[in-house]
Structure 1
Amino acid sequence: MPIQLYYHPYSRAAGTLWALEEAGVAYDLVVTDILKGAQKGPDLVTRNPMGKLPTLVDGELVVSEAAAIALYLADRYAPGRLAPALDDPQRGTYLRWSLFAPSVIEPAVMAKGAGWEVKEMSAGWGRYDTMIASAESAIADRDFVLGSAFSMADVVFGGTLRFMMDFKQIEPTPTFTAYVQRLDARAAYQRANARNQAMRKELGLQ
């Protein structure tokens, strides 16, 4: 049975298409109308009590959270190609920046946008400017997070940067812009982007 992805083109599941295309596995989309609250219906909630997208079903296994899904796909379907081996020292860097995206970039951007008053020592994401400097350090003077080799970390980390820049939540610095341009040139990203655009048109969302 192909993998099933509970999906809507205006959700984080749109980015999961890129991870699936990079992994090179067959998948079916379960279109879930988040504009009508379908993600809170029993079909999805029985699989993911959060009632959120993306949610991936692989046989009997359910995986939620975009970063977790991407890392799962790399480990299961593209080990050594998209994910460093367990005993590869590069795996630490791979995990570091993959998890930096949802646990530091996203909340730092939200905190800045919402004007949250938090103490840097209490907030796991620190300060916005420190987050930006740290994110730039991950890709400074290299093509990808792991250097010259593309990995699933770039789907998670780079996909987050692209999204934030598209919505003007992060300044498109020269480092970020050049990095995202390299990611945009990947055939798997272009396939995923084309499918997302086609789904938006099919659903009348353009």
Structure 2
Amino acid sequence: MSLVFYTNPMSRGRIIRWMLEETGAPYETRFLRYGDEMNSAAYAAVNPMQKVPAIVHNGQVVTECGAICLYLADAFPEAGLAPPLAGRAGYYRWMMFAAGPWEQANVNAALGVQVTPEQSRMVGYGTFERALDVLLSLVPETGYMLGGKFSALDVYAGSHIGWATQFGSIPATPRIAAYLDRIQSRPAARRAAELDDAAIPEYGPAA
């Protein structure tokens, strides 16, 4: 089995690092610096978008964070990161919501893009406020997004919530803080953060 992980420690690759650690599968990390390394022809052969993260599993390339999380949950079922097939409606629905409408809304807001009421019919999220309300509705009082069992949805959507809280676009309410503590205190989450934090001095944007 071959599993190669392309990333930068200050990128969305942190989500995939966490997911990989949750699977317990062995993998090789290849850090890429922003600039020439990420824009090289060699990496374009892996991901023509020339961005991280990406994985190559047994010769199969997977890019885009949401897709990688879904793939890894299926590739390593023994980790129990995906619900049974019959119970995946909400799992797929909210993974794609976080990957699409929420990320678009959050990035546009961060960039200062003002969407008019007329334009709201064209964008995939309507309004930032609507997308935020939907995202926050996923945060449970207890347990995890799909109930009592942690899943890849908590890794992916939970990472978005963690970042948005850190940068102030989501309020750090007691319910959100408690949920983030539950997921971020997991051993795999801690290991992943330690590995990426240790690599920042060498591979971060300022390196």
TM-score, scaled relative to structure 2: 0.90
User: CA 1:79–1:98 in structure 2 vs 1: closer, same or farther (change >3 Å)?
Assistant: farther
Question: What one-letter code is carried by the residue in structure 1 that aligns with 2:109?
Answer: K
Q: Identity of counterpart residues, as a percentage? A: 31
Compute the RMSD of aligned alpha carbons: 1.9
1:7–1:32 contact (8 Å) kept in structure 2: yes
- By relative contact order (CA 8 Å, sep 6+), the higher-ranking structure is 2
- Secondary structure at the aligned position of 1:139 is classed as coil
Higher deviation after alignment, 166-175 or 124-133: 166-175
In structure 2, how many angstroms separate the alpha carbons of the residues matched to 1:173 and 1:127?
A: 22
Distance 1:92 1:171 in 2: 28
- Gap regions ≥5 residues in structure 1: none
Length-normalised TM-score, structure 1: 0.90
Could you tell me how far 1:167 is from its partner in structure 2?
A: 2.2
Q: Provide the aligned length of Structure 1 versus Structure 2.
A: 203
**Deviations 1:146-188 (Å, cap 9, x if unpaired)?**
1111001100100111112222232223332221111111010
Q: 1:80 to 1:189 in 2, by over 3 A?
A: closer
Residue of structure 1 in register with 2:76 after alignment: 77
Q: Could you say which residue in structure 1 is the equivalent of 2:103? A: 106
Matching residue of 2:115: 117
5+ residue gaps, structure 2: none
Distance in 2, matches of 1:122 and 1:84, equals 33
Within 5 A, what are the aligned runs for 1:1-206? 1-34=1-34, 36-78=35-77, 81-86=80-85, 88-89=86-87, 91-113=88-110, 114-118=112-116, 119-203=119-203
SS in 2 for 1:52: coil
SS of match in other structure, 1:140: coil
Amino acid at match of 1:78: P
